[in-house]
Structure 1
Amino acid sequence: MGTRHLYLARHGAADAFGELTAAGRRQANLLGERLARVPVTAVWHSPLPRAVASAHELARHVPHAVLAEAPELVDHVPHVPAPAETPAPWVGFFDGYDDAEASAGRRTADALVARFASAPDPVVHGTADVHEVLVTHDYPVAWLVRHAMDAPEARWLGLSSANAALTVIEYRTSLPPTLVQFNDMAHLPVELRWTGFPGPARP
């Protein structure tokens, strides 16, 4: 049976209007250079402009891969925890989040997992491996990592990904997912790491 290799990436840095900045384009290109080493079969992206632009920059380095939109990758809150399981610093984040919004986010999260978080279909792919890049947003990456680790649903909170950082998950038939790496920024120079994240310096 083949293995599905998912290469998850948050879009490059964007401005206040959600458009990719010059730094974001450089980040996406550097990630593309790194991914040029692997046999990428598809680059899927969120419909939001910052992810679309990042995917197009990245895809220049994997010209034989299919480039297409996947609506499941849109920015969304995948799970609104119950008050008792919400860490105190996050309580304000969910203020005013109504049931309809929470349900819509959960439907998107479930569709994301159903579409991408599984081993390749042997009817479609035979025994071949599949290598897919997902250019998405912070929260969908966190949700897929949480799902791979079979962690409690509220544990997606606080799993932050830097712009154009690389997370890799592998899926094999009859085995639990393997989290190969998370938030890897080895391809980015120091000045392009942790864009948009306040706080102390990171190693």
Structure 2
Amino acid sequence: MGTRHLYLARHGEADAFGELTDTGRRQSDLLGERLARVPVDAVWHSPLPRAVASAQQVARHLPGVPVAEAPELVDHVPHVPAASDTPRPWLGFFDGYDEAEAASGRVIADALVARFATITPTGDSHLVLITHAFQIGWLVRHALDAPPSRWLGLNSGNAALTVIEYRPELPPALVVFNDMSHLPADLRWTGFPATVRP
């Protein structure tokens, strides 16, 4: 058995219609330059256009690496916590989620974990997942064995890199979270609310 290395990235900055902006294309291009130093086996992406376009930009730096869609990476709410487990500022976010929709989101989230948050049967593997902030938060929460509601507040910037390792007979290791060191200052912190950032 080998170690699975997951390189998680939120898609580049997108406009209101879900298409990459010029900034988003540049962010994704720089992410691809950084990932070119890694022995990537495959790039998987969400079916949404902003993730597809980001994966295509990244793949330009990874010749010969297969790129494919994974429906489990689609943008969705992975878990709707009980009101008693939800911080007050988040309560309104879940207005309108009925039980069926919440259950459907959890099914997708569980499928995401089952497919990607595993060790590799033979040898090491290095997988890049181009997805969305909620899905990265969910995988980080899972790796840390935190309560399901703790995906809330685990925000990821556009084209920021998070790395999780799944090792035989050991708990998952969160190697890095929300790393933007490959982006110049003017391309960092997109995807977050506007405020002062370090």
* Range class of TM-score, shorter chain: over 0.9
**One-letter amino acid of the counterpart of residue 32, structure 2:** G
Cα deviation 1:4-58 (Å, max 9, x = unaligned): 0000000000000000111000000000000000100000000000000000000
2:139 paired with 1:144: yes
- Residue 2, structure 1, aligned to residue 2, structure 2: yes
Query: Residue 107 of structure 2 corresponds to which residue in structure 1?
Result: 107
Write out per-residue CA displacement over residues 64-93 of structure 1, whole angstroms, 9 at most, x where no aligned residue.
211000000000100000011010000000
Q: Does 1:12 align with 2:12?
A: yes
- Partner of residue 30, structure 2: 30
Secondary structure class of the residue paired with 2:127: strand
Q: Show structure 1 runs of 4+ deviating over 6 A.
A: none
Is 1:191 aligned to 2:178, yes or no? Answer: no
Number of residue pairs the alignment of both structures matches? 198
In structure 2, what is the equivalent of residue 69 of structure 1?
A: 69
Corresponding residue number in structure 1 for 2:92: 92
- 8 Å CA contact 1:41–1:64 kept in 2: the answer is no
Match of 1:157 among 148, 152, 160: 152
In structure 1, stretches of 5+ residues that fail to align are: none
Q: Percent identity?
A: 73
The 3-state SS of whatever aligns with 1:169 is: strand
Which sections of structure 2, spanning at least 5 residues, go unmatched?
A: none
Name the SS of the counterpart of 2:145 in structure 1.
coil
TM-score (norm 1): 0.96
What SS does the corresponding residue of 2:175 show, helix, strand or coil?
Answer: strand
Alpha carbons 1:46, 1:136 under 8 Å: kept? yes
RMSD, aligned CA: 0.8
Whole-angstrom CA distance in 2 between matches of 1:64 and 1:157: 36
Cα distance in 2 for residues equivalent to 1:202 and 1:160: 14
Q: Name 2:175's counterpart in structure 1.
A: 180
Q: Kindly state the Cα deviation for residue 200 of structure 1 after the two structures are TM-superposed.
A: 2.7
Give how far 1:202 is off.
2.0
* 2:80 counterpart residue number: 80
Q: Please tell me whether the aligned partners of residues 119 and 173 of structure 1 are also in contact (alpha carbons under 8 angstroms).
A: yes
